[in-house]
Amino acid sequence: METRTALVTGAAQGLGQEFAVALAGCGYRVAGLDLVPQPETADRIPDYLELVGDVADEEVIGAGLERVVDRFGTLHVVVNNAGVYPAKPFEETTPEEWRRVMRVNLEGPYLVTRAALPHLKAAGWGRVVNIASAAVFTAPPTMVPYVASKMGLIGFTRALAAALAPYAITVNAIAPTMVRTATAERTVGADGGFAFVRDRQAVRRTQEPSDLVSTLLYVVDEGSGFLTGQTLNVSGGSAYL
């Protein structure tokens, strides 16, 4: 099998970094796109290609993908992981905050996947993985824009899977619960927010980035070509479900 190439958005830390490292450990050549530099990720991955920019910026994405193809020759896997999730009452959410969540969480995967598609088609094989959220099922009242954006991402996943099936490209989503990352700790607090979610799960511990790695590797596996249009709910058996 030829060496595969993967692009992971939001790869500077947390879940995106773990995904990038896991893919590299399986032999993938990996590029990461994030708003900030990714020195920790680069330290963990030989021959890592760091792309700095906004997933909602079409020009940045286009230039980044050119660098990926120039460096690695092709592209097979896209992991749309970058996301934002401000928590506040709905009536206090400004239109600009709403638009920012939609731009990053929903328009970003659209722009990245659209720009990557010619390369996936040229490779003759592809996997698109969108990171959704179990919040679409639990519907926390302080995260209305986030829940709306992730529900849209699930719809995007289902429809795009049908559109890309003729090209041997699968499209699936993974829906984690609240993962322990630096961003989550800043958003909900290191204690109360995690405890609230944890107490409503069958698995009574906080989800770690490593808990999602095996699911990602299953979805992108060569043998998973019959799996498409699905949302894999990896949420520790939330009591709301």
Condensed to tens digits (0 to 9), the pLDDT of residues 130-175 reads 999 988 988 888 889 999 999 999 999 999 999 999 999 999 999 9
Q: What is the pLDDT of residue 195?
A: 64
Residue 226 corresponds to which tokens in the numbers above?
A: 């019959």
Q: What is the pLDDT of residue 177?
A: 77
Q: What is the pLDDT of residue 69?
A: 97
Residue 105 corresponds to which tokens in the numbers above?
A: 């969480």
Residue 23 corresponds to which tokens in the numbers above?
A: 């893919």
Q: What is the pLDDT of residue 155?
A: 98
- Among residues 28, 110, 146, 218, the one annotated as catalytic is 146
Whether 167 is a known active-site residue: answer: no
Q: What is the pLDDT of residue 85?
A: 83
Whether 216 contacts 17, CB under 8 Å = no
Residue 210 CA: distances (Å) to CA of 51, 130, 169, 184? 23, 17, 25, 15
DSSP-derived 3-state class of residue 34: strand
Q: What is the pLDDT of residue 43?
A: 97
DSSP-derived 3-state class of residue 228: coil
pLDDT tens, per residue, the chain with 241 residues: 568 999 999 999 999 999 999 999 999 999 999 999 999 999 999 999 999 999 999 999 999 999 999 999 999 999 999 999 888 899 999 999 999 999 999 999 999 999 999 999 999 999 999 999 988 988 888 889 999 999 999 999 999 999 999 999 999 999 987 766 666 656 555 555 666 677 677 777 776 888 899 999 999 999 999 999 999 998 877 755 4
- Where in the chain are the domains? 5-234
Residue 104 corresponds to which tokens in the numbers above?
A: 């990053």
Name every residue whose Cβ is closer than 8 Å to that of residue 143 and which is 6 or more positions away in sequence: 85, 86, 87, 135
Q: What is the pLDDT of residue 218?
A: 97
Amino acid making up residue 79: V
Question: CATH homologous superfamily for 5-234?
Answer: NAD(P)-binding Rossmann-like Domain (3.40.50.720)
